[in-house]
Each structure stands twice: as C-alpha cells, then as structure tokens.
C-alpha cells in the first residue's frame, strides 16, 4: 500500500482501536532515511501545547460556556473543568459579533471548528534545508519552521517529510492534524506534501490537477492584493449597504444579519451615509450581501463575479484581511502553525474594526464605535485602516511564501500547467 494513502479519522481510529500496526511508510523511511527530518516527542509536544495555548488565548472571549448545548460532545467525553483557568477549546458563540464570522464565513462550527485551529502539524519550512535530520530544541524547530519566508529552495530540497516521533492515539483526538498524516508501523507519523499529494505519480495526475487549482487561485489573489493600490476611502460601508432601505423599498434580506444586535443609528442615517458619496467596495463576497438597492451605488459595480476578485482585491480591505484565515486554513495541515496564529490575530483585528464601523451597537460585547457617519469617525477609520494594513502586510507576504512553498513541494510543473487552465478568467 502506498505512502500517499490518505488517512480518514474512522480509518485511523480503527488502526489504533484494533491495537494493530499499519505498514504504511516503513518502506519509504528505510529507503529515504536522509530525506526525513525527525522531531522528538518532547519537542513537538512543546510546540503543540504552545500553539494550543496561543489559539485558546485569542479565541477565549468568543468561546461558549462549558454547559452550552453546542458543547454536548465535549461534555460527554471530558470531565467538567474544575478550574477557573479552564483552557479547553469549546464551541464559538454564534451571537458574538466579533467571533461569529469564524462560523459564518469559514465554517468553524461547533467544537470541531475552533479545535481545527488549535491542532498542530510541522511547518513545511523544515523541509527547505538539507543539513538537519533531527531537531534538537524548540528554538531550532522555530528557526527551521520559518525558512519558507526566505523562499527559493523549496523545489531543490532532498527532504521529503517531517517525522513526529512516538505519537499516540490521543494526540489525534486533540493535538495533531489527521489530514496529511501517514503512520509508520512503530507509531511515528510523517507529514509530507509530496507524498500526500503523490507528486510525480502519473496515476494521480487527474486528481492532482483538480487539487492544485485552488492553491493557484489563492496564490493569485495574494499576489494581486500585495501589488494593488489600497483604497482608503471605503469606510467599511459594506455593512451599511447591507442595511440600506430607501423609502418604499422592501426590507433588505441581509437585515437579518446580526439581528440580535440593535442598530446604533436610525434607518435615515444609514440611508444618508450610503447615499452621501456612494460605496467603494471591492470585495466580491461582501457585495453578495448588499441590499439590492445599494448595488448601483457601488463604484466598482455590483454584483461582482468570482473572476473579478483577482482584478479588484486590494490591500486596504478589512474583509481581504479576514480572508487570509480562509487561505491559511486551505493549507492545513501544511501551514506553519506560527503563521496561522499571526493570521488569526490580524483577522480578529480586522473583524473588530469591521464591527466597530458598522451601524450595529455591539457595546454589550465590549466593542467600541468608529462613527463613519461623521467626518471625525471617517478620519478615525482611515487612521485605523492604515495601521491595520501595515500590520497585515508582512503576514500576507509570509502567507504567499507559504503557498509558493507548498505548491513547489506538492505538485510538479505539468500538473501546475494543467491546473492553471481551471482558474476563473479575468474580466477586462
């Protein structure tokens, strides 16, 4: 059986439950000992636990209480925490105006959703060197994990995978990514983009052409955004356009969005703010939720199509910052965990500005107001938008480097050429 066999949770659970060993990668590791970088259990556990702590700290304000029905599975399988310092990863609150975008936009539902963020796997950056075959410290792990940010060597390395030593069943329940993991008969686990995607395996060329296309698409979005001129006069009015309702118009369907929150301004102020100078929204997905009467007021057209995204995505857009999380999640389990933490951090910052500038009153959740319906508020928004854009810029650059690394490690040139034909065509 080939090493590129993909492991599902039920299959993996069966292997452990039967107490058997699975001869999946023994032949590969014997042939390529010098092409595997090993991480001892003591080191990867430190990295995994640190990652979980960081994710929990960022998500904590948006997590539901232990006894919430959304945590029913957690309640069945784990004892009730006795400590006030409970660090369990629970379901996100679908009513929290900052954190509910993780559920609604990126599908991080129930307990499994945030736990997906907390799972750990080694960075493919470790593979971009040939000197180290065994990592000796957490500091060395961090240094090698970030090599992808320098770029340039991803297709030349002779290393094919990272081995985690002495993995046990419970690690896949709470700590490690299952997707992309290959089990050796001694309990070690290999994470290898080239083996997982079957690079060079002609029998998988059709599947890999399909699988490669989304990576190329997201890479093109990142490249476009980095090279774009930012738009710094949109003032976050996409949220106002969702609530736009001129006289005699029916209630906009998106008025149901965040319906548990009161509006902090009148409908007249919403309409006047939208109509003052129109809207300058470039984000394809935001436009899908505009009230129909607001679409003609957008300078960049409406509705937009998916192929417009690669033409219009720009570096000042708070929704483009949030979408970095969607792109990082696409890379899992071949995304540097530290990069994922940085992406989540800036995505939450962007969401906070997004809600603060909206017409909703989110003060009960500790969210302030950026009153873009006033000149002072628009100036404040622009200042915060610029500052956020500068914080996001290196994160976006690193995410592009992560995409370049995975694409080079996982797919050969012929697959990439065929996959490029599947991308949406740009409109002039």
Sequence-distant (6+) residues with CB within 8 A of 338 are 51, 123, 142, 145, 146
pLDDT at residue 185, as a whole number: 81
Give the number of other CB atoms < 10 A from CB of residue 106. 18
Give the length of the chain: 428
Sequence-distant (6+) residues with CB within 8 A of 122 are 39, 44, 141, 145, 162, 164, 191
Q: Mapping DSSP to helix (H, G, I), strand (E, B) and coil, where does residue 365 land?
A: helix
For 135-152, give one letter per residue: b (16+ CB within 10 A) or e: beebeebbebbbbbbeee
Low-confidence ranges of the chain (pLDDT < 50): 1-34, 84-85, 153-155, 428
pLDDT at residue 110, as a whole number: 94
Task: Look up residue 308 and give its DSSP letter.
Answer: G
Burial of 280 (0-12, 13-18, 19+ CB in 10 A): middle
pLDDT at residue 313, as a whole number: 95
Nearest to residue 9, comparing CAs of 191, 180, 211, 188?
180
End-to-end C-alpha distance for the chain, whole angstroms: 48
SS3 content of the chain, % helix, strand, coil (to 5): 55, 5, 40
The residue to which tokens 């090698």 are assigned: 144
For the sheet with 181-183, list strands across it: 36-39, 161-164, 189-191, 181-183
HEC profile of 391-403? HHHHHHHHHHHHH
- Strands 161-164, 181-183: pairing kind: unpaired
CB 167 within 8 A of CB 176: yes
Cα gap 426→137, rounded to integer Å: 47
- List, for residues 111-151, the tens digit of each pLDDT value: 999 999 999 999 999 999 988 999 999 999 999 999 999 86
The residue to which tokens 């570096």 are assigned: 315
The residue to which tokens 């409406």 are assigned: 302
Facing residues of 38 across strands? 134, 163
Nearest to residue 268, comparing CAs of 294, 297, 244, 239?
244
Task: Look up residue 303 and give its DSSP letter.
Answer: S
CA dihedral 186, 191, 195, 196 (to 10 degrees): 110
> Helices 318-331 & 337-356, crossing angle to 10 degrees?
150
HEC profile of 85-108? CCCCCCCECCCCCCCHHHHHCCCC
């Amino acid at each position: 059986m080939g090493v590129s066999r993909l492991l599902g949770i039920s299959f993996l659970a069966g292997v452990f439950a039967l107490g058997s060993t699975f001869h999946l990668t023994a032949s590969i590791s014997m042939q390529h000992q010098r092409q595997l970088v090993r991480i001892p259990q003591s080191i990867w556990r430190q990295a995994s636990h640190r990652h979980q702590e960081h994710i929990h700290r960022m998500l904590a304000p948006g997590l539901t209480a232990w006894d919430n029905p959304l945590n029913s599975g957690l309640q069945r399988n784990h004892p009730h925490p006795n400590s006030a310092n409970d660090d369990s990863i629970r379901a996100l609150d679908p009513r929290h105006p900052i954190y509910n975008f993780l559920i609604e936009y990126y599908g991080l539902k129930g307990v499994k959703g945030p736990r997906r963020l907390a799972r750990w796997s080694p960075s493919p950056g470790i593979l971009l060197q040939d000197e180290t075959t065994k990592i000796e410290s957490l500091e060395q792990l961090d240094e090698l994990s970030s090599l992808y940010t320098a770029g340039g060597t991803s297709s030349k390395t002779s290393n094919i995978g990272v081995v985690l030593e002495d993995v046990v069943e419970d690690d896949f329940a709470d700590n490690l990514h299952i997707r992309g993991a290959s089990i050796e008969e001694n309990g070690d686990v290999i994470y290898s983009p080239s083996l997982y995607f079957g690079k060079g395996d002609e029998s998988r060329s059709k599947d890999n052409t399909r699988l490669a296309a989304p990576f190329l698409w997201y890479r093109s979005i990142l490249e476009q955004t980095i090279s774009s001129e930012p738009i710094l006069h949109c003032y976050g009015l996409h949220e106002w356009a969702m609530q736009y309702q001129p006289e005699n118009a029916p209630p906009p369907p998106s008025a149901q969005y965040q319906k548990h929150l009161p509006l902090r301004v009148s409908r007249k102020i919403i309409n006047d703010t939208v109509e003052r100078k129109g809207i300058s929204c470039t984000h394809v997905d935001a436009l899908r939720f505009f009230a129909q009467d607001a679409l003609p007021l957008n300078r960049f057209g409406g509705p937009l199509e998916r192929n417009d995204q690669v033409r219009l995505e720009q570096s000042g857009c708070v929704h483009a910052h949030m979408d970095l999380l969607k792109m990082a999640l696409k890379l899992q389990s071949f995304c540097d965990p530290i990069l994922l933490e940085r992406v989540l951090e800036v995505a939450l910052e962007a969401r906070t500005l997004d809600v603060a500038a909206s017409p909703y009153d989110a003060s009960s959740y500790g969210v302030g107001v950026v009153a873009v319906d006033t000149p002072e508020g628009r100036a404040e928004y622009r200042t915060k938008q610029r500052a956020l854009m500068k914080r996001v810029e290196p994160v976006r650059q690193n995410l592009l480097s992560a995409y370049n690394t995975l694409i080079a490690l996982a797919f050969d040139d012929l697959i990439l050429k065929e996959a490029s034909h599947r991308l949406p065509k740009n409109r002039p």
